[in-house]
Amino acid sequence: MTVALLIIALAYTLGSLRVLKQYEKGVAFFVGKFWGIKGPGLFFLPLGLTSMRKISMRTVALDVPPQDVITRDNVSVKVNAVLYMKVADPERSVMAIENYLYATSQLAQTTLRAVLGEVELDELLADREKINGILKRIIDEHSERWGIEVEQVAVKDVDLPQEMKRAMARQAEAERERRAKVIAAQGELQASQTLAEAARVIGQHPAALQLRYLQTVTEIAAENNSTTIFPLPMELLTPFLAGRKDAASAQVPVLPAAKPEFALPQITMSEKK
């Protein structure tokens, strides 16, 4: 009899031992009442009098299904997101909500539709970080009473209608053309300013124009293996011509006018008669 009792007691004890992993917590109930949080590791729960619900404390990636959303500027888009969450309070995750995963998913879907309905399409496409922050704050405020901590919410894909994609492509092309024209105009302006500065310098130094002329001729001769005939600028010969004229005027003497050796007789009217 004693041996039988010992065997029964040993079996009951072994049946009452529970083991939880490092990332798990157990919400224990004794005769239907909350008895505490157990684990991780090995612990004793009286068999038949207690029950336990395991709760994983790891972060869960919850996929938010695509939602049909009409933005503030009346554009219909389909948006999906991903939510990263974990259980912060195992007791409330069991006592305050029946299925915290399902409840958090539904909350994320409704919040996604409500928030994106208050923003414009350009803001949705360009400023996702701001929208992700708003979604996280709203979902975290409502899920906190369930013992859930929202770590991050991220909008993944924004599916636009085909006509909207074509309109955005035309807009992007027009914007690129506008930028190209602006850059070309700025280049023309800088080139004209540089040319004006060069003209001013050449105007102050006429010899620079001749040097530039000779440089251009040299470049033409280097590019084409041919004979180049070009006129010689008269400005280069002006000093030499002026020097020769002065020398000629200095060597040729100026002779006085010669007097006639005889004079012609003057005939008057009286002598002719």
CATH number, position 92: 3.30.479.30
Q: Write down the pLDDT at residue 265.
A: 46
Q: Are residues 70 and 156 in the same domain?
A: yes
Residue 221 is assigned to a structural domain of this protein: no
Q: How many domains does the chain have?
A: 2
Collapsing DSSP states into helix, strand and coil, what is residue 163?
A: helix
Q: Same structural domain for residues 79 and 27?
A: no
Q: Are residues 83 and 24 in the same domain?
A: no
Whether residues 71 and 23 fall in one domain: no
Which of these three, 55, 84, 99, is where a domain ends? Answer: 55
11 and 70: one domain?
Answer: no
H helix or E strand, kind and range, residue 219: helix 206-223
In a domain, residue 183? The reply is no
91 inside domain: yes
Q: Is residue 142 part of a domain?
A: yes
Answer whether residue 226 is part of any domain.
no
Domain that holds residue 24: 2-55
Catalogue the long-range contacts made by 187-194 (C-beta closer than 8 Å, 24 or more residues apart): none
Q: Do 154 and 65 sit in the same domain of this protein?
A: yes
Question: 138, 160, 182: which is the final residue of a domain?
Answer: 160
Q: How far apart are the first and last CA of the chain?
A: 205
Query: CA-CA distances (angstroms) from residue 86 to 11, 39, 121, 154, 246?
Result: 37, 17, 31, 16, 107
Asked whether residue 131 falls in the same domain as residue 70, the answer is: yes
Residues with Cβ within 8 Å of residue 160, at least 6 apart in sequence: 75, 77, 168
Q: Looking at the structure, tell me whether residues 69 and 48 fall in a common domain.
A: no
Q: Within the chain, which residues score under 50 in pLDDT?
A: 252, 254-255, 257-273
Per-residue model confidence (pLDDT) at position 271: 41
Q: Are residues 14 and 78 in the same domain?
A: no
Q: Which of 98, 125, 160 is the last residue of a domain?
A: 160
| Short-list 82, 72, 143, 165, CA closest to 114 | 72
Is there a contact between 131 and 112 (Cβ–Cβ < 8 Å)? no
Q: How far is CA 108 from CA 2, 40, 79, in A?
A: 60, 30, 12
β-partners of residue 103 are none
Q: How far apart are CA 139 and CA 113, in angstroms?
A: 12
